[in-house]
Structure formats: structure tokens, C-alpha cells
């Protein structure tokens, strides 16, 4: 117990020293939290992404995607949860992941997910595909949608190595 307390105190001192002078404490905190939650820094290791702006967008999307993780996973081959696994969803036929039981609304569609229709779907899932089982998870904010789509688009190259 006491050792832990000492360690905690030492850590706190280090953190305070690190944050104390010129750097913004909130910014440092955000980066630490994101790194700890996502062990694989996949976005930046994607050679197709050369533009630093695109990397920022993907990182933003990774954060924004937290509102989807209650129902979706994105890891290649991972078992679908409440919603289908979204790994490689861009370029996939709508409602076509093997082993997932979709609503008729998604099964009936032969379209392929691209940035445009995914944007429309995420803005208003049942407006775009009436009868969908995705009853939550609409993203009203344009920028957050763009970021989430960029993040999802980064997934095939990040995981299919």
C-alpha cells in the first residue's frame, strides 16, 4: 500500500513537472488518453496516407468512432457485436457481411458503401435506409462524419498487412 502511494506521488510529480512550464496541460492529457486506449498506432503507419491533414482527420475519426463502439468493432475478422463488423466497410456491398443478420432494408440494397452514401446514412440512418435496425448512432456534425469515414477508410490498409 505505502509503496503504491509513493509511486503515485512520484508519478504525479513527474506529470506536474512535464506539464508545468510551456505546454498546455489539456493537450498533453488528451494525447495520453488516446494512446493508452488504442495500443496499435495504425493510422500513422499507413503508407497511403501521406498528407498530415489526412492523418489528423483519421485520428479525429478514431476518437469520434467511440460513439459507435457500443455496437460496432472494426478489427479484421473480429466477431460482430450488436452491429456488423465495420472493417473494410467502404467498398463493401450494403448489408453483405457474412454471418451478420441484417434488417430487410440493408439486405435489399445492392449498392456499395462509398464516402457519399455512408455520409448520408450516418447523418440519418433511417432517413437514408428506412427500416434499418440501426436506431442510434446518427452523427449530426458534418466534420465528425467526415472524420469517422476517413477513419473507416483507413482500416483495410491498416489491418490487412
Given 27, 31, 82, 108, the residue binding ligand HEC (CB under 6 A): 82
Q: How many residues bind ligand HEC (CB under 6 A)?
A: 26
Mark residues 126-155: x for contact with ligand HEC by CB under 6 A, - for none: ------xxx-xx-x--------x-------
Rg for the chain, CA atoms, rounded: 19
How far is the C-alpha of 10 from the C-alpha of 18, rounded, in Å? 12
Residue closest to ligand HEC, measured at CB: 137
Q: Is 72 in the site for ligand HEC (CB under 6 A)?
A: yes
Helix residue ranges per DSSP H, 21-114: 25-37, 52-64, 104-107
Stretch that binds ligand HEC, among 8-16, 34-42, 48-56, 86-94 (CB under 6 A): 86-94
Q: Smallest distance, Å, CB 2 to ligand HEC? A: 44
What HEC string does 90-124 produce?
CCCECCCCCCCCCCHHHHCCCCECCHHHHHHHHHC
How far is the C-alpha of 100 from the C-alpha of 72, rounded, in Å? 12
Given 42, 59, 62, 102, the residue binding ligand HEC (CB under 6 A): 102
How far is the C-alpha of 64 from the C-alpha of 81, rounded, in Å? 18
Nearest partner of 94 among 64, 143, 132, 61, judged by Cα? 132
Binding site for ligand HEC (CB under 6 A): 67-68, 70-72, 82-84, 86, 89, 94-95, 97, 102-103, 105-106, 118, 122, 132-134, 136-137, 139, 148
Amino acid at each position: 500500500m505505502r509503496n503504491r502511494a509513493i509511486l503515485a506521488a512520484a508519478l504525479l510529480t513527474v506529470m506536474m513537472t512535464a506539464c508545468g512550464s510551456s505546454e498546455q496541460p489539456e493537450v498533453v492529457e488528451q494525447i495520453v488518453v488516446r494512446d493508452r486506449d488504442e495500443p496499435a498506432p495504425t493510422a500513422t503507419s499507413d503508407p497511403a496516407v501521406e498528407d498530415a491533414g489526412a492523418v489528423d482527420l483519421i485520428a479525429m475519426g478514431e476518437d469520434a468512432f467511440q460513439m459507435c463502439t457500443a455496437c460496432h468493432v472494426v478489427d479484421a475478422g473480429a466477431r460482430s457485436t450488436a452491429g456488423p463488423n465495420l472493417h473494410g466497410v467502404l467498398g463493401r456491398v450494403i448489408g453483405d457481411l457474412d454471418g451478420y443478420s441484417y434488417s430487410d432494408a440493408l439486405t435489399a440494397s445492392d449498392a456499395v458503401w462509398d464516402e457519399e452514401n455512408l455520409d448520408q446514412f450516418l447523418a440519418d440512418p433511417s432517413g437514408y435506409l428506412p427500416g434499418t435496425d440501426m436506431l442510434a448512432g446518427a452523427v449530426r456534425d458534418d466534420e465528425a462524419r467526415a472524420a469517422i469515414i476517413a477513419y473507416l477508410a483507413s482500416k483495410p490498409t491498416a489491418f490487412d498487412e
